[in-house]
Amino acid sequence: MIDLHIHSLYSIDGEFTPAELIRRCKDAGVSVTAIADHNSVRAVPEALREAEKSGIKCIPATEIDCCFKGVNLHVLGYGIDYESPDFFEMERANLEAERRASRLRLALTESLGFKATPEELDATVPTERFKGFWTGEAFAEVLLSKPEYADRDLLKPYRAGGSRSDNPCLNFYWDFYAQGKPCHVPMNYPNFGAVVSVIRKNGGKAVLAHPGNNLKGRYELFDEMAPMLDGVEAFGSYHTKSAAEYFFAKAREYGLFVTCGSDYHGKTKPAVKLGESGCFVTDGVLIENLPF
């Protein structure tokens, strides 16, 4: 089984250490994987060591935020030189911007009639280094746990049995903090082309992550980006079968390789399971098409 998109606690919304993630991969029957943390490569050395012990192939990777024609995207970099200072500089710049944005998210959340303290929000982050960094998922975790908000209509879809309860924290983020939503804080992400250049400069391959989600309603943009990409994540937890078929066909049209990834994080995405990506081709076919 292949899963080339999972997250450790070096992602602000991750839960497990790199070593624990690799052990969970082994238990789940995943034999080829990549820890692709948000704007970070810090998990890679530990993951590689544990993977060697566990008999799993682990590919050095990261997932970088960027922007193309006003649309926020994620680009996966595989087979990268994970010791390059370029990736640590990108991480530093991202964390600096995220700290500023977190305070603005708090103010926007309060404008909806909710209260969340910095201390409550900090209790949700995976490590001390992320204190003061609050994602939409963190706000969801805090607000959904408060007894005083048990009957708030706005939160009911995210509670057990609600229409958005399969991944309540993630869905709350998408509904309130994603681009175009009421609590969204614009970020000055690097340009898509610049990110692809950094990945390639450091020996990697650039793959567009979960395009069926980020390009929703804007699929035509993929045709403009495809010549700059090496691959596309056609199979993922957020893709419908029709979206997977569309991007699988586009990969063939443009000569791109295809990846699959669950985007497993742990507690923030309870419906997302390791190794599950809706892939409809065999592992052998996928492995043969991968250039790393």
What pLDDT shows up at residue 8? 98
Q: How high is the mean pLDDT of the chain?
A: 97
Name beta bridge partners: 231.
207, 257
- pLDDT at 5 > cutoff 90: yes
The fraction of the chain above a pLDDT of 90, given in percent, is 97
Helix (H, G, I), strand (E, B) or coil at 75: strand
Rounded average pLDDT over 277-291: 92
- At residue 233 the predicted structure's pLDDT band, cuts being 50, 70 and 90, is very high
- pLDDT at 212 > cutoff 90: yes
- In angstroms and rounded to an integer, the radius of gyration of the C-alpha atoms of the chain is 18
pLDDT, tens digit (0-9, with 9 covering 90-100), for 237-279: 999 999 999 999 999 999 999 999 999 999 999 999 999 999 9
Question: What's this model's pTM, rounded to 2 decimal places?
Answer: 0.94
Residue type, 292: F
Q: For residue 278, how far is the Cα from the chain centroid?
A: 17
Helix (H, G, I), strand (E, B) or coil at 122: helix
- pLDDT at 86 > cutoff 90: yes
Query: Does residue 158 contact residue 172 with C-beta atoms inside 8 Å?
Result: yes
Query: Does residue 13 contact residue 271 with C-beta atoms inside 8 Å?
Result: no
Helix (H, G, I), strand (E, B) or coil at 260: strand
Q: What distance in Å separates the CA atoms of residue 286 and residue 243, rounded to the nearest whole number?
A: 18
Among 185, 193, 24, 27, smallest CA distance to 35 is for: 24
Among 90, 74, 81, 85, smallest CA distance to 60 is for: 81
For the chain, the structural domain boundaries read: 2-92+189-289, 105-176
The C-alpha angle with vertex 46 and arms to 43 and 35, in degrees rounded to 5, equals 40
What pLDDT shows up at residue 262? 98
Query: Does residue 264 contact residue 3 with C-beta atoms inside 8 Å?
Result: yes
pLDDT, tens digit (0-9, with 9 covering 90-100), for 21-62: 999 999 999 999 999 999 999 999 999 999 999 999 999 999
What pLDDT shows up at residue 190? 96
Rounded average pLDDT over 198-209: 98
pLDDT, tens digit (0-9, with 9 covering 90-100), for 157-201: 999 999 999 999 999 999 999 999 999 999 999 999 999 999 999
Domain 2-92+189-289 -> CATH class: alpha beta
What pLDDT shows up at residue 17? 98
> What CA–CA distances, in Å, run from 168 to 122, 138, 143, 274?
19, 11, 11, 18
H or E stretch covering 101:
helix 85-111
What pLDDT shows up at residue 101? 97
Q: What distance in Å separates the CA atoms of residue 239 and residue 46, rounded to the nearest whole number?
A: 30
- At residue 285 the predicted structure's pLDDT band, cuts being 50, 70 and 90, is confident
The answer for residues whose C-beta is within 8 angstroms of residue 139's C-beta and 6 or more apart is 105, 106, 109, 114, 116, 121, 172, 176, 177, 183
- At residue 141 the predicted structure's pLDDT band, cuts being 50, 70 and 90, is very high
What pLDDT shows up at residue 218? 96
